[in-house]
Homo-oligomer: A and B are copies of this chain.
Amino acid sequence: MQLKVKNLNLSSGGPLIAVLNEEDVRKLDLLASDRIKIHKENENIIVAIDLAKSKLIKQGYIGLCEEVVKIFKVKENEIVRISPEPKPLSLQFIKNKLDGIPLSKREIDEIIKDIVENKLTEVEITYFVSACYTKGLNLYEAAYLTEAIVANGGTLKLNKYPILDKHSISGIPANRTTMIVVPIIAAAGFTIPKTSTRSITSAAGTADVVEVLAPVTFSKDEIKNIVKKTNGCMVWGGAIEIASADDKLIKIERVLGIDPEGILLASILAKKAAVNATHVIIEIPTGKGTKVEDKKKAKSLKRKFYQLGKNLGMNAKILITKGSEPIGNGIGPVLEAIDVLKILQNRKDAPEKLKEKAIYMASVLLKMVGIRKSYKKAKTILESGLAYQKFKEIIKAQGGNPNIQPEQLKIGQFKHEIKAKNSGIIHSIDNNLLVKIAKIAGAPKDKGAGIFLNVHTKHKVQNNDLLFTIYSENKKKLDYLLRVYNPEKAIEIKVE
């Protein structure tokens, strides 16, 4: 069947989608989500058809979403030929998994390849996520999934040994240890090519915070050069498409707020495997409001991470930490960058807990590669200024200003202070509400937006003491925030 191309000027959000007229669909006996192959000259592309929008397209035409136009490079009104195409094999594998049949390495690879190449629709990916969630992945499947994500994404080959890395399962704000651990490890002479994410649901991802001080978007070769020069880096993983299958799975998971364990394990270790990491620490924060609230579940996850790492030839150490409140004082890119700089500069007003936690995490990594008295070593590197020196090297290598001071960073000019309404002891701090507030204030896009916390749990406060300050770069956002949300609810004071 020959058809004329019509650009729908419409993004599908990923999947390769074409819209046909109802009459043409009938001629080919096609059903929703069936596939067709579009031919032009010597090229062809396989797309899923969308019936819902059939009325948009006249008979004899084929509407293409932006994603197809971009890849297939067809012009408006160009004549193409289409033919029916069987559904992708990966759909049968997804059905098998939904039936409880474990998947082979090849099958998982096929599914992930099709997801990365936008060959599956959102409904089809939802079936895969559901199958992983309800039937679970055994450790072999989790390993295959990890390998598939690595094989179908970007990797960074450094030819070094050992390569160290860290990861924290997100869930708590102001947990910006990476920017302290990386310079300690690199200053100790070890390679740590850290790739980070931008914020997905948080007020700031590590990449957003580093970006306050230096660019974070680099090509693979540029990253290799930075690591070669400094032993480390603090860059955005998205630019080199590390674990790109991830984003598509996460988008679907978020609809129902589920996080299938097998996918969680695989997507984290894939990011480490993609940089050939040999020694890895993974932090699992637990407690109210974190991703893994339950300690028992954290312990089970810990065993699986360890075993899966082993299957993948990776030495993984898993730290279960307390995550029921923010660790540092700042929430939001600039405010968190200030926390980090203060710690590296050994300032008296640096957030003590964040500093201690970073030293501890660095020490665990150092111990894994055979450094004795590793805690003392990590602490000395930090407090002697060696870590700060290394940090400045990395910032410079990434094209930032290494000499910038906390006072030079611009916090949002509009602010609102929340004060204690009575005296007592800080009983709890609501991570989720603080993150929500920081985001509506503008974080992470408005770098200077966010929250500065003056208190942590167990602190004593007097009536009218300052609890925290909300900063925003935009008065309207701050006004909207205060009209719709009640920031006072974020901190609970127990009257003594």
User: Across the interface, do B439 and A31 meet the contact criterion of CB distance under 8 Å?
Assistant: no
Picked from B126, B256, B439, the residue with its CB within 8 Å of the CB of A29 is: B439
B-binding segment of A7-15, A237-245, A411-419, A450-458: A7-15
Known contacts A29-B440, A130-B98, A440-B27; decide if A122 and B122 are in contact (CB<8 Å).
yes
User: Across the interface, do A98 and B27 meet the contact criterion of CB distance under 8 Å?
Assistant: no
Q: How far is the CA of A130 from the CA of B99 in the complex (A)?
A: 10
Residue of B nearest to A83 (CB): B484
Within the complex, the shortest CB–CB distance from A311 to chain B, in Å, comes to 26
**A124 interface residue per 8 A CB criterion:** yes
List of B residues within 8 angstroms of A440 by Cβ:
27-29
Q: How many of these chains are in the complex?
A: 2
Q: How far is the CA of A388 from the CA of B52 in the complex (A)?
A: 41
Interface string of A4-29 (1 = CB under 8 A from B): 00000111111000000000001111
Known contacts A126-B123, A477-B27; decide if A12 and B254 are in contact (CB<8 Å).
no
Residue of A14, A122, A126, A251 with highest tally of chain B CB at under 10 A? A126
User: Across the interface, do A255 and B11 meet the contact criterion of CB distance under 8 Å?
Assistant: no
Interface string of A414-450 (1 = CB under 8 A from B): 0000000000000000000000100110000100000
B-binding segment of A131-139, A151-159, A316-324: A131-139
**A168 interface residue per 8 A CB criterion:** no
Picked from B10, B98, B131, B255, the residue with its CB within 8 Å of the CB of A123 is: B255
User: Across the interface, do A91 and B256 meet the contact criterion of CB distance under 8 Å?
Assistant: yes
15 more contacts with CB within 8 A, not counting A12-B52, A121-B255, A130-B134, are A10-B10, A11-B53, A26-B439, A29-B439, A32-B251, A32-B254, A33-B254, A33-B255, A122-B123, A123-B252, A123-B255, A126-B126, A130-B131, A134-B134, A134-B135
Q: List 25 A-B contacts (CB under 8 A).
A: A10-B10, A13-B50, A13-B53, A14-B52, A26-B445, A29-B439, A29-B440, A31-B254, A32-B254, A33-B255, A83-B484, A91-B256, A98-B133, A98-B134, A100-B134, A122-B123, A123-B126, A126-B127, A126-B130, A127-B130, A127-B255, A127-B256, A130-B131, A130-B134, A134-B135
Q: Pick the 9 closest A-B CB pairs, nearest first.
A: A13-B52, A130-B130, A126-B126, A134-B134, A33-B255, A29-B439, A123-B126, A123-B255, A29-B440
